[in-house]
Amino acid sequence: MQYTFYKLFKLCIIFLAVIASWTSIVLISDPKYNLEIKELITKMYLNQKNFIYNVKDLSILLMKDANQRFSDNNQELFDNKSIK
């Protein structure tokens, strides 16, 4: 199992290295699609930044939900004890 994760991780690293190298070489050679490539890279960066912000917001919402549930459960337990 660990060997499979290692191979997958290694494959991802190699893929990222190839894409990064290829992109760098293409941008240095001033291709016909230079503007489109730069726009796409900018969009990828912004999406990555938005993803991180969205994960942060999701975490905050999940914590609020958990706090509300715990509060409701504690209130129910308190009400059950006070009835007895």
46-58 pLDDT tens trace: 888 888 888 788 7
Are 42 and 20 part of one and the same domain?
no
- The residue segments making up the domain with residue 81 are 34-84
Are 52 and 67 part of one and the same domain?
yes
Are 84 and 43 part of one and the same domain?
yes
- Count other Cβ atoms within 10 Å, centred on residue 43: 10
19-75 pLDDT tens trace: 888 888 877 887 787 888 888 888 888 888 888 888 788 788 888 887 887 777 666
Are 38 and 24 part of one and the same domain?
no
CA distance linking residue 74 with residue 80, whole number of Å: 10
Closest CA relative to residue 23, chosen from 7, 8, 45, 6: 45
Are 27 and 38 part of one and the same domain?
no
Rounded to 5 degrees, what are φ and ψ at 31?
Answer: -80, 175
Q: Is residue 26 a contact partner of residue 37, using CB atoms and an 8 Å limit? A: yes
The pTM (predicted TM-score) of the whole model is: 0.52
Are 8 and 48 part of one and the same domain?
no
- Domain total in the chain: 2
Tokens of 81: 């004890």
